[in-house]
Chains A and B, each alone.
Chain A
Amino acid sequence: MLTPEERQEIEAEFPRYPHKQAVCLDAMKIIQRHRGWVSDESLRDLGEILDMTAEELDGVATFYNLVFRRPVGRHVVLICDSVSCWIMGYEKLCQRLTSQLGVDLGGTTADKRFTILPIVCLGTCDHAPAMMVDNDLYRDVEADHIDDVLTNYK
């Protein structure tokens, strides 16, 4: 079941669009903000509010890179693998990150602290290579910085 708080936040989005179906992405992001990810059950519950089937909602959810249909760690690391970052040392950075955390791209650490995902160009190419942890952007990242960055996230 969606919590009253989630419902309230979702319904607060309705006036922004002429049809409530248009709220579906915002709604999935609200659910994800509360639970970390969007489960099948959440999609069914959401479908009831928006008069959409869970399949329709899943079609939308899976279109997006940042709607998580599986559980993720407490913090999500997004490492840019697009062209400017690739030229400026993405591979080295990625190697350090994955060996440091002991998981491959797409994986979650055993203690559920981090999930690492590749991300497309973060639009900060003059400060490549770049990565994000949760809402924070890190630019001009060197492999040796990784430790310092990660210690900020418990």
Chain B
Amino acid sequence: METPLTKNIPSNGNAPLDLKAYEKAGGYESLRKSLRMPPNAITELVTKSKLRGRGGAGFSTGMKWSFVPMGKDAPHPKYLVANADEMEPGTFKDRLLLEGDPHQLLEGMIAAAYAIQADIAYIFLRAEYKLAAERLGRAIAEAYERSYLGRNILGSSYSLEMYLHVSAGRYMCGEETGLLNALEGKRANPRSKPPFPPVSGLWGKPTIVQNVETLCNVPHIINNGPEWFIRLGLTADSGTKLYGASGKVKRPGLWELPMGTTIREILIEHAGGMRDGVKLRGLLPGGASTDFLTEQHLDVRMDFREVQKAGSRLGTGTMIVLDDHTCPVGMVWNLEHFFSQESCGWCTPCWSGLNWTERILRAMEEGRGQPQDLEKLEFQTKFNAPGHTFCALAPGAMEPLQSALKYFREDFEQHIREHRCPWK
């Protein structure tokens, strides 16, 4: 089984390969190859590979690049941004790539930047990833020294500057257009679309924002070709995927597996199943803003289409496991507390609705639940449905709630009936 994304990452958490060792392992080959190709050909390769965004939404990466104006009349400077904000609860995959193989990200970014002929690249990193900041800083300096960055990269006519931007903690900064505002030194409220960032992004110039894991795939696609990448996946979706599991499983962790691996294989084989004494009740397959799945879904394949068919989303591919010793209402309260706190306050259904949602759930947990609360919660799931809010934060917040109301309804009712949390 091939593991292109993690093959150079030391399994013991040791320091990543430095530039010399990375080059010895074939590093920066894709850059040399890219510079001999016309930029559009890279975009075409990536489109053909069917690479889809690993940040949650799963949009076709190559197609996004193809929206960027090219040629002599294109506006400049153009920008490429690596989204390393990773603040979705339960998600810890980009951290591994950032800490474990920073040069792989840089190589992917430079190739992506070349494809869209970007002049400036930013890595947008969350504040708490201190080790990643240190390692990325060193990798960028090394890359400049070897002329992989800067003016006339490797003697070509292509130039790219790269900067590390370290944020200061807010989930909304990870949202594509919120991130653009944050980089411009403004509050990270989202922007209305259109215009879409590939046409008008940072300071009104064409900008591509891409998740860390997405970008890390790019060098391998350029080196090995799109057919190879498609063959890595087990289903209609291509490549490998970093899958994770947290909660009361025997071996919480992160694994690079073929795209389309089943939930059962991830949960039982890799995470070792549930800890002794607890049983599986449900799981959020791809981070905090995905719908619960349950035991009946163990054979669902973790790709974009199959998880959606089962009523949830692949999201970030890192699952959070709910066991029978943990209160589902408490868990949903915890999630909604997060979303309500992180709402940027731009639109009313979200800032007001999430606040109400959190209060109702807290009341239930504290024994003050009312019979009509379930109806109120259901109203919120419709009030904050996709299309009713400015960005995807609020609809995402409703996903675990609406599915919990479906699968764990009896638990909610028991809280209200008995005026207490049965787990306390």
Contacts and interface: CB of A to CB of B under 8 A. Distances in A.
Interface of A: 16-19, 21-26, 28-29, 59-60, 63-67, 78, 81-84, 86-88, 119-128, 132, 135, 137
Contacts of B171: 120
Interface of B: 77, 86-92, 94-95, 126-131, 163, 165-171, 182-188, 203, 244-248, 252-254, 288, 318, 320-323, 326, 330-331, 334-335, 337-338, 341-342, 344
A47 to B, nearest CB: 12
B169 A66 contact: yes
B323 to A, nearest CB: 8
A25 B95 CA distance: 22
A84 B168 contact: no
Contacts of B182: 25
B217 to A, nearest CB: 20
Given A22-B183, A125-B320, A126-B253, 8 more contacts: A17-B185, A24-B185, A65-B168, A87-B321, A87-B331, A123-B126, A127-B252, A128-B252
A126 B186 contact: no
A86 B91 contact: no
Nearest to A140: B252
Contacts of B185: 17, 19, 21-25, 60
14 contacts: A63-B344, A64-B167, A64-B169, A82-B90, A82-B334, A84-B247, A84-B320, A86-B331, A88-B246, A88-B248, A120-B341, A123-B129, A137-B128, A137-B131
Given A64-B168, A84-B320, A120 B90 contact: no
Contacts of A83: 89-90, 288, 320, 331, 334-335, 338
A90 B10 CA distance: 29
Contacts of B168: 25, 28-29, 64-67
Given A19-B184, A60-B186, A124 B334 contact: no
A71 B126 CA distance: 22
Given A59-B187, A65-B168, A132-B128, A123 B86 contact: yes
